[in-house]
């Protein structure tokens, strides 16, 4: 009705007057509509601003959070340090536990980082735990890497050389931890710049002229003393014990590491590295003002096996694995170099093995590669033990014999149906009646011994021989006797390759053969891979063999990822958690007497790689391999039920996992990060 009235008012005028009045009226109406729209926009904007102010008032979001939102950043920055700074939180120690508390810059006391709280609250955070003594002071101090120096006190030239290399590696790790670029070591400089070996007492360090020195210390001197043994070759008789002490006086910190051998001193450096941490609040390294550690391993053999046949792994990945082993005080890297799937090693004498057996030209190892890995491992206190598995698990790479006039070097290669002739595809076993086969093995042993150095332990393989395969060719022979003869022949060829000296310990995998007593127990050591409750565990010890435990139900790290083929059993399960690895103490469960316990050289975790390549390597191994490290180094008593773990073990392995990540090892997460930030709440 109102609209109709307006219409008639507009048209009630006549002529020019009507036009002028009508236009004026329309202008007024449009102006009113525009004003209403503008007011509505202003009101909406005001409501939005008030809403934002409301949500940001008080302690809803800290200034640090707001600044983080404003900063451009990428969640996929591959160059960023793997552990972020946690500016939202500070930590305080209550009842030997670090408690997370919200932090507001300027409103509360100085922020305490999680790692600083962890290192100064409760148990001493060393992994594996020292076996004899570990004491640290409540007071800490800060420093920067450039003030760290090394002084060596030893009459042994080779020990000095290896200690220098190990110290260079130690400094490199600290640079990584402190987020610094790594400066070239003496080995990477010209000879004129490198350290002199002319005296028994050498001092070198990280500082150079003109570098800025900061922190609570003016100097940090690491003094390493090795007086007794000049041996740098690996042996199960190596003395790996050490003593470490730190003392601070007048802003000068002295670290003393005393050991009877290079190997003990190297473990002392690993422990020292775990007594140092980086505080992201003051951007300095920290350590204790005073500390004392006395330590020695419970078991001589603490191993980790990696299979590089089912998948190839680069030298960088292998070195990264060895670096983690050194920190965990694992001392034997068992390199399962070849298998039926591939032969990636380029032999100097028989390159045909790799030409016919490698996955590709780039997926190969040379003798120099093996030497490089062995030298790197020695610096970290780790021995490389290569294995050419034989007579079984040998197929691809061995099929060129007839072309060279050497006959069939192997039989059953890739034979189908595979389930009749081998444990998993592809099949293949060496020909036990071809002398060329033994000559090739001898030459391979020579090359590998030359690359890895003198040793008292060598692995001959001997795993899972399928007698039905051989029966197709040698059905008139005692097949088990043939198997035994093969291993004894391999032992003889190894002795020839080792300049007429047979290594004291010849390792073979447990099998039907090792239960027959055909192999002399004075020379053969059996790596027991079967179940921990199997009768063979007792039989082997009763038969006088030394053993290395690698029980599939505890220390096989490839288990629990499902079947990789459609037929037959292709997987072990369930997944072996770090708790499974840690709590496995077969020598206790078996109630061994002193005599039989001495026959247990130690243990080894195994990673077969049917379902593992370089993309998964780190998180399949770590931190579970670290759990094995403490079990074999410290072997702490365990009064808890089978599935219960002491809270302090959770806290220490969580921090050990953080240290691995700091060094660039992509270790598997143990639990949600909330649980890591709030120790004890999730156990």
70 is catalytic: no
Contacts of 282 (CB under 8 A, 6+ apart): 142
From CA 134, how far away is CA 326, in angstroms rounded? 19
675: burial class by Cβ within 10 Å (0-12, 13-18, 19+)?
middle
Contacts of 534 (CB under 8 A, 6+ apart): none
149: burial class by Cβ within 10 Å (0-12, 13-18, 19+)?
middle
User: Beta strand pairing status for 252-259 and 242-249?
Assistant: antiparallel
Instruction: Identify whether the C-beta of residue 195 lies closer than 8 Å to the C-beta of residue 162.
Output: no
Q: Which contiguous run of DSSP H or E holds residue 604? A: strand 600-607
From CA 335, how far away is CA 459, in angstroms rounded? 10
User: What distance lies between CA 495 and its chain's CA centroid?
Assistant: 34
- Does residue 521 sit in helix, strand or coil? coil
Q: 453: cis peptide before it, omega within 30°?
A: no
Q: 675: cis peptide before it, omega within 30°?
A: no
CA separation, residue 504 to residues 23, 94, 271, 520, 522 (Å): 114, 53, 31, 12, 8
Of 86, 355, 408, 464, the active-site residue reads 464
From CA 670, how far away is CA 683, in angstroms rounded? 11
Tokens of 345: 């090693």
Instruction: Identify whether the C-beta of residue 521 lies closer than 8 Å to the C-beta of residue 571.
Output: no
CA separation, residue 615 to residues 29, 64, 252, 338, 562 (Å): 71, 35, 44, 20, 18
475: burial class by Cβ within 10 Å (0-12, 13-18, 19+)?
exposed
From CA 633, how far away is CA 618, in angstroms rounded? 21
Tokens of 204: 């070198």
Active site residues: 464
């Amino acid at each position: 009705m109102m609209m109709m009235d307006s219409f008639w008012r507009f048209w009630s005028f006549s002529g020019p007057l009507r036009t002028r009045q009508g236009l004026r009226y329309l202008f007024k109406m449009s102006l009113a509509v525009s004003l209403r729209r503008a007011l509505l926009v202003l009101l909406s904007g005001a409501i939005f601003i008030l809403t934002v102010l409301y949500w940001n008032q008080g302690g809803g979001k800290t200034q640090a959070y707001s600044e983080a939102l404003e900063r451009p950043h990428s969640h996929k920055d591959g160059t960023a340090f793997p552990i972020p700074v946690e500016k939202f939180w500070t930590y305080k120690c209550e009842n030997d536990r670090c408690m997370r508390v919200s932090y507001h810059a300027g409103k509360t006391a100085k922020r305490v980082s999680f790692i600083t709280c962890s290192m100064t609250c409760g148990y001493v955070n060393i992994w594996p735990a020292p076996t004899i003594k570990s004491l640290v002071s409540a007071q800490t101090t800060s420093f920067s890497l450039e003030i760290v120096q090394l002084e060596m006190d030893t009459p042994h030239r080779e020990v000095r050389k290896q200690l220098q290399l190990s110290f260079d590696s130690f400094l490199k790790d600290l640079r990584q931890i402190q987020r610094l670029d790594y400066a070239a070591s003496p080995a990477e400089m010209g000879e004129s710049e490198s350290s002199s070996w002319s005296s028994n007492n050498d001092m070198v360090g990280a500082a150079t002229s003109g570098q800025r020195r900061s922190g609570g210390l003016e100097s940090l001197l690491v003094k390493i003393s090795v007086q007794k043994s000049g041996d740098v070759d690996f042996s199960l008789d190596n003395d790996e014990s050490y003593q470490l002490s730190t003392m601070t006086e007048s802003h000068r910190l002295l670290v003393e590491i005393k050991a009877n051998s290079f190997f003990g001193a190297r473990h002392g450096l690993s422990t020292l590295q775990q007594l140092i941490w980086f505080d992201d609040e003051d951007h300095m390294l920290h350590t204790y003002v005073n500390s004392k550690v006395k330590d020695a391993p419970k078991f001589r053999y603490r191993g980790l096996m990696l299979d590089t046949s089912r998948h190839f792994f680069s030298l960088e990945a292998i070195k990264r694995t060895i670096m983690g082993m050194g920190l965990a005080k694992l001392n034997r890297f068992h390199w399962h170099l070849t298998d039926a799937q591939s032969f990636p090693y380029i032999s100097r004498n028989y390159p045909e093995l790799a030409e016919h057996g490698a996955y590709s030209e780039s997926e190969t190892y040379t003798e120099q590669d093996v030497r490089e890995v062995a030298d790197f491992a020695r610096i970290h206190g780790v021995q490389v033990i290569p294995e050419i598995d034989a007579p079984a698990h040998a197929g691809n790479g061995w099929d060129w014999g007839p072309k060279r006039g050497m006959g069939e070097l192997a039989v059953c290669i890739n034979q189908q149906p595979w389930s009749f002739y081998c444990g998993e595809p592809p099949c293949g076993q060496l020909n036990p009646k071809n002398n060329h086969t033994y000559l090739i093995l001898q030459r391979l042993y020579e090359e590998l011994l030359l690359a890895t150095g003198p040793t008292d332990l060598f692995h001959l393989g001997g795993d899972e021989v399928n007698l039905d395969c051989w029966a197709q060719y040698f059905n008139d022979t005692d097949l088990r006797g043939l198997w035994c003869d093969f291993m004894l022949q391999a032992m003889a060829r190894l002795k020839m390759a080792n300049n007429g000296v047979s290594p004291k310990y010849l390792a073979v995998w447990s099998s039907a053969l090792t239960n027959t007593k055909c192999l002399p127990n004075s020379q053969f050591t059996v790596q027991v891979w079967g179940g921990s409750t199997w009768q063979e565990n007792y039989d082997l010890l009763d038969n006088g063999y030394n053993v290395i435990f690698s029980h599939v139900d505890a220390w096989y790290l490839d288990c629990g990822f499902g079947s990789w083929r459609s037929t037959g059993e292709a997987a072990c399960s369930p997944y072996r958690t770090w708790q499974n690895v840690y709590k496995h103490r077969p020598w206790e469960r078996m109630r061994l007497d002193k005599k039989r316990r001495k026959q247990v050289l130690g243990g080894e975790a195994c990673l077969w790689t049917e379902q593992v390549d370089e993309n998964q390597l780190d998180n399949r191994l770590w931190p579970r391999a670290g759990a094995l490290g403490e079990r074999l180094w410290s072997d702490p008593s365990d009064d808890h039920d089978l599935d219960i773990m002491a809270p302090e073990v959770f806290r220490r392995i969580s921090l050990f996992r953080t240290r691995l990540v700091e060094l660039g090892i992509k270790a598997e997460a143990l639990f949600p990060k909330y649980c890591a930030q709030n120790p004890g709440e999730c156990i």
